[in-house]
Structure 1
Amino acid sequence: MPSPVSPENIATRAPSLRILQLTDPHLMADPEGTLLGMNTRESLDAVIALAKREPHAPDLVIASGDIAQDSSETAYRVFQEKMSVYSCPVIWFPGNHDDVEVMHEVIAGTNAEQRRLLVGGWQLIFLNSAVPGKVYGALSSGELSFLNDCLAEHPERPTLIAFHHHPVDVNCTWMSQIGLTNSDALMAVLEGQSQVRALLWGHIHQTWDGELNGMRLMATPSTCIQFAPGSNEFSIDGQAPGYRWIDLYPDGTLDTHVRRAEDYVFTVDLDSQGY
């Protein structure tokens, strides 16, 4: 089992560890590449610019999948370059649009490929829920074993677990078949693990905030297009791109909020039936 990593350049400021989640940028090799009318490089730039105006810098950035729309090495290199504005570690893991091998070639040997961090009094675990060639997700037996081992090693340490696909119903009928298909297996591992305080994901291109068995459940707007909450069929929302802040406190509590780049002027195809 990989040993835990505590990067020396994570500066924990009492009383909290501040995390910035960026998700689903869907970058492309083409600088002018658009997703349903939105230039995804420009929208990511707008989100980063807004986040940089926050009064405190993050201690950690989590990039929760669908980094690239076209799975190109160029797209991953562009994202890596854009993340260089942060002096803290930036953790990546794949979504359904990503090519895991290409992505790992880009981030090999960097903080971005870390699977677990012990920092700020917390354990942070990052899982791969991507299934090659599929939109839906699943956690392999290896991922579940890794999770179980991490939890067993630190049973008293508050824990946040992050991956790409949604593990619960998000009240969008059309998404019911493209979430985490073995969420029951995940919940079986988590049963009785009271140290697990939060699950964090991307994929649904909208805000989600709930609670289950004492765990905070959180999803975050994409840095590009948004999906309409509560929709039965594929539906685009006109809300602006965004990000999530999470403050993790040593006592196991957390605060979080979502912000959107409301000043960013964009176009999006609200009549699209999919992509």
Structure 2
Amino acid sequence: MEKKVLKIGQISDTHIGADASCVQDIDVRKNFLTAYNADSMKNLDLLVISGDLADEESPEAYAYIAGILEDCKVPVCIIPGNHDKLEIMEKFFDLNGKVHNGRCYYRYDIAGRSIFFLDSADGTVSSDQLRWLEEETAKVEGEVLLFLHHPPCHCNHKFMDLRYAMKNIDEVQATLSKINNLKYIFVGHYHSEMVEKIGDKTVFVTPSTQMQIDPNSSVFCLSSAAPGWRVVEWGENFMETKVYFSNTP
């Protein structure tokens, strides 16, 4: 019997502030709600928020997001980004059993499938996580997905690659190359929509709901203040994904 097609929504890099004030002159709360309430995000099976929830690790930012998610009708999987503070996040989100030695990583099973989440908040994926990922994915029959905050590769993004790339890319790629049932990796962090290949795997970089950064400039240059988000449809031997911006249908 063929498994159902899962519809997964991904929101990343919301950078919510401590109050309703603009962050870098952008109404980030409005942008977050635009993505969260978008028609394309209806009828999800799972919502993923892939890091940098808060702009400055403030409890008020996490409280705001948690308050919005109280009405969410589907499971929500959350991982931290480099702007987040895991110890504060734990007070507002159910991360029970998902935090190990100060890192938030876990496997989430839904509709007979397995999705893996890693913590790259300090710019690395720790050796413990990589060993765990290799061992756990080997236990799964069939394809798995992976979400983390940092791309496990350079992305030809002149600003982010130069300053904020993952610090142990080679180590991470060495582990990923061994995982034969992993073909699709979903990340954020770069504030751009990008697609990269590493071996037989495809890395989908999801834009930010806060703002987009021009990948063609080696200095910080805002390309858009329109929020972006991603929808993934994942079935047996089937995966389609589309990025949406608030100014596109």
User: Alpha-carbon deviation of 1:57?
Assistant: 1.0
Q: Which amino acid is the alignment partner of residue 79 of structure 2?
A: F
2:148 paired residue number:
163
Residues 109, 205 of structure 1: alpha-carbon distance in 2 compared, 3 angstrom cutoff: closer
1:49 paired residue number:
37
Mapping of residues 229-240 of structure 1, within 5 Å: 229-238=215-224, 240=226
User: Alpha-carbon deviation of 1:197?
Assistant: 1.4
Instruction: Work out the CA distance in 1 between the residues paired with 2:41 and 2:193.
Output: 22
Of 161, 174, 193, the residue aligned with 2:179 is 193
Task: Check the 8 A contact 2:232/2:242 in 1, yes or no.
Answer: yes
Of 5, 15, 21, the residue aligned with 1:16 is 5
Deviations 1:141-196 (A, max 9, x none): 22112212212222x32111111112211112222231211111111112232200
Instruction: Work out the CA distance in 1 between the residues paired with 2:213 and 2:41.
Output: 29
Mapping of residues 1-275 of structure 1, within 5 Å: 15-32=4-21, 34-50=22-38, 53-54=39-40, 56-108=42-94, 115-131=106-122, 137-154=123-140, 156-176=141-161, 177-238=163-224, 240-251=226-237, 253-262=238-247
Task: Check the 8 A contact 2:12/2:206 in 1, yes or no.
Answer: yes
User: Alpha-carbon deviation of 1:55?
Assistant: 7.9
1:5 paired residue number:
none
Residues 111, 22 of structure 1: alpha-carbon distance in 2 compared, 3 angstrom cutoff: farther
Residues 240, 25 of structure 1: alpha-carbon distance in 2 compared, 3 angstrom cutoff: same
Instruction: Work out the CA distance in 2 between the residues paired with 1:108 and 1:122.
Output: 21
User: Alpha-carbon deviation of 1:139?
Assistant: 0.7
Task: Check the 8 A contact 1:205/1:225 in 2, yes or no.
Answer: yes
Instruction: Work out the CA distance in 2 between the residues paired with 1:198 and 1:160.
Output: 6
* Residue aligned with 1:153, SS: coil
Instruction: Work out the CA distance in 1 between the residues paired with 2:216 and 2:195.
Output: 14
Q: Which amino acid is the alignment partner of residue 129 of structure 1?
A: S
Instruction: Work out the CA distance in 1 between the residues paired with 2:41 and 2:107.
Output: 27
User: Alpha-carbon deviation of 1:56?
Assistant: 4.6
User: Alpha-carbon deviation of 1:222?
Assistant: 0.6
Q: TM-score, normalised by structure 2?
A: 0.89
Q: TM-score, normalised by structure 1?
A: 0.81
* Residue aligned with 2:10, SS: strand
Q: Which amino acid is the alignment partner of residue 28 of structure 2?
A: T
Instruction: Work out the CA distance in 1 between the residues paired with 2:129 and 2:62.
Output: 23
CA RMSD, aligned part only?
2.2
In the alignment, structure 2 segments of 5+ residues that lack a partner are 99-103
* Residue aligned with 1:95, SS: coil
* Residue aligned with 2:91, SS: helix
Q: Which amino acid is the alignment partner of residue 202 of structure 1?
A: G
In the alignment, structure 1 segments of 5+ residues that lack a partner are 1-12, 132-136, 264-275
Deviates more, 1:113-122 or 1:82-91: 113-122
1:268 paired residue number:
none
How many residue pairs get matched? Answer: 241
2:101 paired residue number:
none
Task: Check the 8 A contact 1:90/1:111 in 2, yes or no.
Answer: no
* Residue aligned with 2:138, SS: helix
Q: Which amino acid is the alignment partner of residue 246 of structure 2?
A: A
Q: Between the two proteins, what is the percent identity of the paired residues?
A: 27
Task: Check the 8 A contact 1:209/1:216 in 2, yes or no.
Answer: yes
